[in-house]
Amino acid sequence: MSQERRVREERREAEARKVVADLLKLLSTADRLEFEDVVIDARELTIEFIPPSAPTGPTYLKLTVEPVGVPQPPGGKLEFILEVTPTGFRLLTPPVPGAVPITVPPIAAVPKLVEFIKVEYKYPSLEFKGSIAEVKIGATKAEGGTRSTVIKIGGDNKPPIFRFLGYVVNRPKVALDVFDTTIPLPRAVRDAYGDVLSNPYEWAKKCINVVKADLISFHLVSTDPGIKDVSPQEAAKEVEQMLQTIDIPFIVGGCGNPVKDLETFAKVAEVAANERLVLASVTFGMNIPKYVEVVKKFNHVALALIFMDVTQAKAICRRLMDLGLSKDRIILDPTTAALGYGTEYSFSAAERIRLAALRGDEDLQVPMSCAATNAWAAREAWMKLDAWGPREWRGPLWEAVTAMTMLLAGADLFMMMHPLAASIVKSVTEFMEKQTVRDVIEKEVSEYYSWVTKRY
């Protein structure tokens, strides 16, 4: 299109706009219209005037045009409905069936007075009648244990990061996994820890000193009858040694065999009496009364593992409570699937459990844990594949995203493995407890649009 022609067209458009504005003014006052001296480049033009159906409802114009000089549309006619607005008119979406896409923009009249209308946005005032029990992990000397700190989780009466309702009572905590025997670990994890992997106590120390773990999750994998079948007595010695090596609270994990785990827990609980460790975990396959007895007698915390299901979650918590365990002694693990391998089920199960608890379901008012380490089961996390990029970043990202998703759903305690993933999740949790300092975000707000205008 030549420059000259474009100018001419623009002028025509401006004129048309004025005509339309005047026309609309007329339309708004009249209920009957007659046209005179109108020139239209079309074989046929029908304008149907559709009055508002209610005093405040919109007015429509239906235009049927049989154009000249353009390729004929199917059926020979173009048909579209325009909605009359205070300032002009606009094409109604969705478009009328059969109408061909319109490439000419609808003409809008420039309003005479465009006022800024100041209104207030009110953050939703949500009220939740339930609150989550606060669970304490670890006991100090004063409480009969030997830990230097006590970790508190739960205790909130709102979903996480609803900052308009307040800040979280206790930020979620990050536990780093330590295994008591060599198991196959992904390359990125082996590289991150190096030599200490062969020594669980050194491994735990590194997690505390370098990764700044809130807790340790000590997995007694060697007790597995299919692996080393280490006896409960020996396992208890390992726990004693861990108690002496580190001074922060920890979680003791079994091998997943409900019979053997219960035997192991009984011995471990005894040697660590009053330390308020977490015994992970109790399932429906276990002798639940016996497990509860061990937890109560030696003053520890229960962790119940169920499979992504609200009904199961209710049932196991109810069972533990019926056996005399109070809410502040229970943590619920609704199972965390790796990103891409069932994430949505974990996410929705956790979200539903937390919402039900906050809406008043007393059976579910306990903190939730998330084994984000499971993310490493995904091939996307560990497999070497050039097209997917470096796994030393990809793997930790997979773990961190798995954790973040569960954090948003309401998880209060994370079991993680890679230092990079663990530290980013921990750094997010640290800011959940406190109000954002105005100065910190002022620069971000005032220079916000440099994301558009700057090179980076």
Partner 1 sequence: MPRRIKPLDVYRLLPKLNCGKCGEPTCMVFATKLIERQTTLDKCRPLFEDPRFRENLRKLMELLRPPVKEVTIGVEPNAVKVGGKDVVYRHEWTWRNPTAIALDVHDGMGDEEVERRIKFVNEWFYERIEKRLGIDLLAVRCVSGSAERFVKFVEKVCKLTSKPLIVCTLDPATLEEVLKRIGSRRPLIYAATERNWREFADLAVKWSCPLVVSAPNDLSKLKSLVVSIVKNFGYEELVLDPGTLVSNGGFLDTISNFTALRYSAIEFGEREVGFPLMAIPATVWIFESGGTEELEFREAIIACSLVARYADILVMHSLSPWVYMAVLCLRDCLYTDPRVPPSVKPGLYEVGKPTPESPLVVTCNYALTVSLVRGDLEKSGIDAWLLVIDTEGTSVASAVAGKRFTADKIAEAVKELKLEEKVKHRSLVIPGYAAKIAGELEDLLPGWRVFVGPRESSDLPKFIREIWSKEVLGKA
Which of 38, 39, 70, 114 is in the footprint of partner 1 by CB under 8 A?
114
Residue 111 beta carbon to partner 1: minimum distance, rounded to whole angstroms: 6
Contact status: 387 vs partner 1 (CB under 8 A): yes
| Interface with partner 1 in residues 250-269 (CB under 8 A) | 255-257
Which of 203, 218, 250, 398 is in the footprint of partner 1 by CB under 8 A?
398
Contact status: 48 vs partner 1 (CB under 8 A): yes
> Interface mask (CB under 8 A) for partner 1, residues 316-335, using x and -?
-------------------x
| Interface with partner 1 in residues 171-190 (CB under 8 A) | 184
Residue 297 beta carbon to partner 1: minimum distance, rounded to whole angstroms: 27
Which of 338, 357, 366, 370 is in the footprint of partner 1 by CB under 8 A?
338
Residue 307 beta carbon to partner 1: minimum distance, rounded to whole angstroms: 3
Contact status: 35 vs partner 1 (CB under 8 A): no
Contact status: 389 vs partner 1 (CB under 8 A): yes
| Interface with partner 1 in residues 279-308 (CB under 8 A) | 283-285, 305-308
Contact status: 166 vs partner 1 (CB under 8 A): no
Which of 14, 164, 198, 229 is in the footprint of partner 1 by CB under 8 A?
164
Q: Residue 83 or 328: which CB sits closer to partner 1?
A: 83
Contact status: 96 vs partner 1 (CB under 8 A): yes
Contact status: 427 vs partner 1 (CB under 8 A): yes
Residue range at the interface with partner 1 (CB under 8 A); choices 33-41, 136-144, 156-164, 238-246: 156-164
Q: Residue 41 or 447: which CB sits closer to partner 1?
A: 447
**The Cα angle at residue 16 between residues 87 and 40, in degrees rounded to 5:** 125
Contact status: 85 vs partner 1 (CB under 8 A): yes
Residue range at the interface with partner 1 (CB under 8 A); choices 65-73, 173-181, 360-368, 396-404: 396-404
SS (H, E, C) the chain: CCHHHHHHHHHHHHHHHHHHHHHHHHHHHCCCCCCCCCCCCEEEEEEEEECCCCCCCCEEEEEEEEECCCCCCHHHCEEEEEEEECCEEEECCCCCCCCCCCCCCCCECCCCCCCCCCCCCCCCCCCCCCCCCEEEECCCHHHCCCCCCCEEEECCCCCCCCHHHCCCCCCCEEEEEEECCCCCCCHHHHHHHHHHHHCHHHHHHHHHHCCCCCEEEEECHHHCCCCCCCCHHHHHHHHHHHHHHCCCCEEEECCCCHHHHHHHHHHHHHHCCCCCCEEEEECCCCCHHHHHHHHHHCCCEEEEECCCCHHHHHHHHHHHHHCCCCHHHEEEECCCCCCCCCHHHHHHHHHHHHHHHHCCCHHHCCCEEEEHHHHHHCHHHHCCCHHHCCHHHHHHHHHHHHHHHHHHHCCCEEEECCHHHHHHHHHHHHCCCCCCCHHHHHHHHHCCCHHHHCCC
Residue 254 beta carbon to partner 1: minimum distance, rounded to whole angstroms: 12
Residue range at the interface with partner 1 (CB under 8 A); choices 172-180, 230-238, 323-331, 351-359: 351-359
Contact status: 424 vs partner 1 (CB under 8 A): yes
